[in-house]
Structure 1
Amino acid sequence: MQSGKMFALDVADTGMMDAGVYTWDMTNDLVYADSALAKLFGLRSEEAKCGLPLRAYLDRVHPDGRPHLTKTISDSVAEGCAQRSVYRELMQNGNFVSVVAFGRCFHDREGGAVLFSSYGGKWVTRPIRRRDGQGSSFRRHRR
């Protein structure tokens, strides 16, 4: 059996019901996020649920990855295509963690970009046992 790339959900905090979801109201430049995404970005959950400017999130992205992330979001907005990004984000403890996000821009009937919705989480690599018994391979997990 060939091993391929797989994406799996790894629920790190079983007490947390939120999944790392956000919606960016582009007209008002407010990002509404659940508690899982707020925790990941080191932001207060209640503030994230009520909406924070996109800059509050982008400022926590590692400076080396910020241009690429903003480009993938801009491309998704302009082309109406799905977006996937892997980048490093600054956590509240001062450490950076790899994050993966999947999103899409939504346009109104006149073609104006109005909403950008996404989900994301920690991106880690873990060894797994291959089914063919040939040792281990690696699989990416969302945490």
Structure 2
Amino acid sequence: DVCCPGSDASSYDSFLIPGNHLPPMTWDEARNYCRSSFTDLASVRNISEHNEILSLLSANTWFGLYRHPWSRWSDLTPTNFTNWNYGQPDNSGSTISSCALVSPASGTWFEANCGETHYFICQDFRSRRKRLNLKFQSEADLTDPSTQQQLLEQVQRL
């Protein structure tokens, strides 16, 4: 698998394109694969994520948008950002058979039948971690629960 982490260390997400060992899949097969191996099909929440995904693609690719009526991603979060091609979605398919493809050639989204097979992009949510090296210059007892609670509160504000 090729992993393409976010642009900075505080990014919670990674977008992943499964390796060449996998054939193109239907939207449902792709969603099931992403859910079993990562988190879900990719959701695009803003232009920055859209551009990051586009930079990884070489062919029309499934991502996590489907007709319901285009109001939420496969992870059930609301759709607040879209980048449809002109005239899209045309809503020509039935409610249960319309999913979205992203085209690297145009940089826009198209409606397609969910039963078609295409490559796909997954998303993996990562926990944000920070490593802190602390040096204490205090007479405080670090084993005291109230001192530990105060330290924890200060670290959480970082």
TM bucket by the smaller chain? under 0.3
Instruction: State the TM-score, normalized to the length of structure 1.
Output: 0.28
Larger Rg: 1 or 2? 2
The structure that is strand-richer by fraction is 1
